Amino acid sequence: MKKLILLFLICLISISYAQENPVYFKAYYPEFIPVNTNFDISIVSRIQYTNADRVIFYILTDDATNLESVLFKNLKINKQVKHQIVTYKKRSEKCYSFYFDLKDTTYDLSRTFQLLLNLSSRTLDNGNISFAIEIEEENDSIVSSISSFDKNGSSLPTIKLNYYTPQSIAGSLLQVEKNGFLKLNFNNKENINNLLLSFWCNPPIFSRSFFNITNSQTNETIINLSSNEFQTITSNEPEGYKLNANQIISKNTWIHFSLFFNTSNKKIEVYANDKILFTIPLELNLNLSNLEFEFVNNEDEKLQIDLLKIWKFENSLEQIFLNKHYNSFQADSSKLLFDLNFDSEISFNNNSNGKTFILKAERTKISKSDAPIFSKAPELNVNIYENYYQLEWKVLDLNSAVRIMVEKSTDGKSYKEIGQVFVSKNKEEIYNFVDAKTLEDNIIYYRICQINNDGSKTYSAQMKIGQGEKKKFILRQNYPNPFNPITTIYVEIIESTEIELSIYNLSGKKISTLHKGTLGAGNHGFKFDGSNLPSGIYLYEIKSPTASVVQKMILAK
């Protein structure tokens, strides 16, 4: 039934699209791909040409990405399709091709179908995959052609793939074997307004159920997550269920789930990789401490879980999304009820974790994790002076960082090391590096490369500097930070200039303007009072006519 509903929804989308274009094409792909693994891309398509005899698909990849297999799926058949390497219009990319003979009644492309592409990659460089479709008549003349390279509005997409090297900081994961489970119950009744559950999961590509939330008092299933034959996440569909997006499950890749029980909006919101999948109404009389969470595996494939957190949550969801790759982070208005990364040995059965939850498990084991959990990147700032640039940064992960390489580029792509610094164990230390100014290039780029104890690398955001610019101010970190409720923001003005200093929340809404007008040379302090604001992360930005700098601060009530 779920399969029929899914295909019905896809058909509705394709019907509306086909009113303008006889080719419907939608690609779904994993967002986090471990290097040296196979992964899947799902193409949902429909092609309606009454005079066509053959449809040819082209898949264009970078040199290090290989197309291993193509699987055609619809409601009736599930069949491998042969592919070959060809050349597409003299383009330099590696190109794979396969075709469908429309006289063969096996394939009906006029109805919604799925192409499941299995690929492998042996590179750490982010890759692109492009597509092209040609529709031919019997005499091999092309009736229509559409590709990722078309300049019109109906072109096919280009997929950007993000590969990563698993880091040792990811530690261990929990693997649930066939007929196994991990179950969590509240040990004590908590007064909870808003509850957030987040975790990384590598689920079976087809599962009748891999995660359930039930009401322990009534045994009613509130949420059931499963995956269907089309490797798409599905759910039970209670009254008021609203589907927002689809999420593919790919072999060997991870998905980050966030489930938010929002009593303010009276909704349960389910997110995958930061995008909302669906919502269901939240019962008004539901006591959130009666919830029971269960990971279950009834399939031959593995079910893997990492970084499981449960919050009494009063912050913005953006804070969860921004920090999903890190073992720990602060959410000052929220209370962390449960935190499990499986790195230490745990006696699951009847274990009361911190007196908040009782854990039960069967047929599970601890294994090395390859989830996308990383060391935190250094925060880099560049101060511009008359004859030199001063780079400043702070190391945020002393447990992993060993040394820092300072890198410079003239094009933002190819970087060269210009210095290195070993990391101390002083968490408050501010590191500095000075680079002499030259006028050989109009624009230069800096970044920090952190070398971790397992040999992996973590990069800061790159800083772009215009060589003709002279910085007229330096924005300092506010003090105290975190603060409650008053802090001071310090600005050093090098040359008298027009300045605007403003405060924003994480959604980009301006909260306050502390100064707008001319500031003379010297040091200036501006007090900010957050008495009327909720706890959380805020941004303060200083702008002059030629430059702007943004810093973050934490209000902790």
Residue 285 to residue 197: CA distance in whole angstroms: 20
Same fold, 375-470 and 471-557: yes
Beta-carbon contacts of 482 under 8 Å, excluding residues fewer than 6 positions away, are: 330, 332, 553, 554, 555, 556
* CATH annotation of 375-470: 2.60.40.2060
Q: Which residue has the tokens 């091999």?
A: 140
Cis omega (within 30 of 0) for bond into 203: no
Q: What's the pLDDT score for residue 471?
A: 67
pLDDT confidence band for 311 (50 / 70 / 90): very high
| pLDDT, greater one: 530 or 425 | 530
Q: Which residue has the tokens 């307004």?
A: 193
Say which CATH topology domain 2-164 has.
Immunoglobulin-like (2.60.40)
| pLDDT, greater one: 64 or 116 | 116
Residue 53 to residue 49: CA distance in whole angstroms: 9
Residue 539 to residue 235: CA distance in whole angstroms: 37
Q: What's the pLDDT score for residue 85?
A: 96
Return the top range by mean pLDDT from 94-98, 100-104, 264-268: 94-98
Between the alpha carbon of residue 404 and those of residues 168, 242, 408, 451, the distances in Å are 18, 47, 13, 6
pLDDT over 60 at 77, yes or no: yes
Mean pLDDT of all residues in 517-541: 90
Q: Show me where the domains of the chain are located.
A: 2-164, 168-368, 375-470, 471-557
Between the alpha carbon of residue 56 and those of residues 83, 144, 385, the distances in Å are 10, 11, 58
Strand-pair category, 473-475 with 431-436: unpaired
Strand, coil or helix: 86: strand
Q: pLDDT per residue over 294-309, tens digit each?
A: 999 999 999 999 999 9
Q: Give the total residue count for the chain.
A: 557
Residue 476 to residue 490: CA distance in whole angstroms: 5
pLDDT confidence band for 49 (50 / 70 / 90): confident
Angle at 430 between CA 374 and CA 466, to 5 degrees: 85
Beta-carbon contacts of 475 under 8 Å, excluding residues fewer than 6 positions away, are: 489, 490, 491, 540, 542, 549, 551
Count other Cβ atoms within 10 Å, centred on residue 351: 13
**CA neighbor of 206 nearest in space, from 250, 237, 160:** 250
Q: What's the pLDDT score for residue 474?
A: 86
pLDDT over 50 at 38, yes or no: yes
273: left (phi over 0), alpha (psi -120 to 50) or beta: left
State how far Cα 346 lies from the chain centre.
29
**CA neighbor of 115 nearest in space, from 67, 187, 63:** 67
Between the alpha carbon of residue 76 and those of residues 4, 107, 112, 246, 282, the distances in Å are 12, 10, 11, 21, 37
* CATH annotation of 471-557: 2.60.40.1930
- Tokens at residue 187, please? 């040990």
**CA neighbor of 234 nearest in space, from 249, 213, 219:** 249
pTM for this model (two decimals): 0.77
**CA neighbor of 304 nearest in space, from 338, 256, 352:** 256
**CA neighbor of 203 nearest in space, from 223, 229, 182, 233:** 233
**CA neighbor of 259 nearest in space, from 231, 294, 300, 297:** 294
Mean pLDDT for all residues in the chain: 86
Say which CATH topology domain 168-368 has.
Jelly Rolls (2.60.120)
Angle at 360 between CA 355 and CA 361, to 5 degrees: 145
494 DSSP β-pair partners: none
Out of 162-176, 194-208, 346-360, least confident range: 346-360
Single-letter code of the amino acid located at 186: F
pLDDT over 60 at 354, yes or no: no
pLDDT over 80 at 4, yes or no: no
pLDDT over 50 at 491, yes or no: yes
Q: What's the pLDDT score for residue 396?
A: 86
Residue 227 to residue 490: CA distance in whole angstroms: 52
Mean pLDDT of all residues in 370-393: 85
Q: Which residue has the tokens 């280009």?
A: 158
